Each structure stands twice: as C-alpha cells, then as structure tokens.
C-alpha cells in the first residue's frame, strides 16, 4: 500500500502513545479500534476519520485538535479559534445566550480581520456592518437590566427605545 501522506500523523501518534507509556494493543483497546488498524495509521497507510481521531485523543488524554491538525483536517491557524470557542462554551459563569452572542461577535471579528488575506475581491464594508451589528446585539444582551426595564412590557431596554 502507498502512503496517504499521513506519515506525520502516524509519527505523532506513535510519539504520543510512547510518552503515555501505552503499547499499541493498549491504545487500540482504549480507543475502540483494532490493533492492525492502529498499526496502519501509525505507519501512514490509513487515514482515520475525525471520529477515530477523537477516540484516540481521548485515550491518549490529548486534544483532538492537535490530531486534527496533524491529519490535515484542521488548519493550524484555526487552532486559536477553536481554543477560544472551547473557552467560551465551557465557561460556567455565563449563560447559553451570552455564549452564543460572544461566539457570533468573535466570528464576525475574525472574518473582518481576515479580509486582508482574502484579497480585494470582497468588500470589507458588509463585514464591518455585521461586526457592528453583532457588537450592538452583544451590548443589549450582556448589559445588566434594571427591574423597571425587565418589566417594561415592550421587551426593549430603555436605552434602545
């Protein structure tokens, strides 16, 4: 069989397995895959799915993102974005609505700042409008409301009315 250009993933997996002091058989069992299949992945002969990578990461107690990057599923530049997403989603001090608003704002800023990489074909004006709209929405959602505003009855904050 020819290598599928996943040698870096296989080498990385082998390093992680050895540093975790696991045999090939132990990791295969912990991840729920066959021993021969894991061996083929480590030798660069097979390309595992994202689900298998997730199982391997869990068994190795490492981030799945690191395996996704090694496998070429996730771009290295997206890693920081994933870390921010995970931090927001796992923060117990903010509610679900606030998490969604923060994620929307974050994505709009990433799109706006990515305009230089995309080139002049796309105008930055719509992205700036979207970022401004997301920021206004966040302020409305995240701003503490007084008891009078909460029971105003029209559903709007006094500041936005």
- pLDDT at residue number 88: 83
CA atoms of 96 and 84, how far apart (whole Å): 15
- pLDDT at residue number 120: 42
Q: How many domains does the chain have?
A: 2
Length of the chain in residues, anyone?
Answer: 161
Residues 89 and 57 in one domain: no
- pLDDT at residue number 85: 77
Residue ranges of the chain with per-residue pLDDT less than 70:
1-7, 76-80, 115-161
Residues 38 and 85 in one domain: no
- pLDDT at residue number 122: 44
Tell me the residue range of the domain where 22 lies.
Answer: 7-71
- pLDDT at residue number 15: 94
For residue 132, the SS3 value is helix
- pLDDT at residue number 160: 44
Residues 60 and 80 in one domain: no
pTM, rounded to two decimals: 0.49
Residues 56 and 107 in one domain: no
């Amino acid at each position: 069989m020819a290598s599928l250009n996943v040698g870096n993933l296989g080498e990385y997996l082998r390093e992680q397995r050895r540093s975790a002091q696991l045999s090939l058989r132990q990791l295969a069992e912990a991840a729920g895959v066959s021993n021969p299949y894991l061996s083929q992945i480590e030798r660069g002969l097979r390309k595992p799915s994202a689900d298998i990578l997730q199982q391997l990461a869990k068994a190795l107690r490492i981030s799945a993102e690191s395996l996704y990057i090694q496998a070429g599923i996730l771009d290295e530049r997206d890693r920081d974005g994933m870390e921010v997403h995970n931090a927001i989603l796992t923060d117990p001090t903010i509610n679900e609505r606030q998490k969604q608003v923060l994620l929307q704002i974050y994505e709009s800023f990433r799109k706006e700042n990515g305009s230089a990489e995309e080139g002049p074909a796309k105008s930055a004006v719509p992205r700036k409008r979207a970022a401004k709209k997301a920021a206004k929405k966040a302020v409305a959602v995240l701003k503490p409301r007084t008891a009078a505003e909460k029971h105003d009855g029209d559903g709007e904050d006094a500041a936005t009315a």
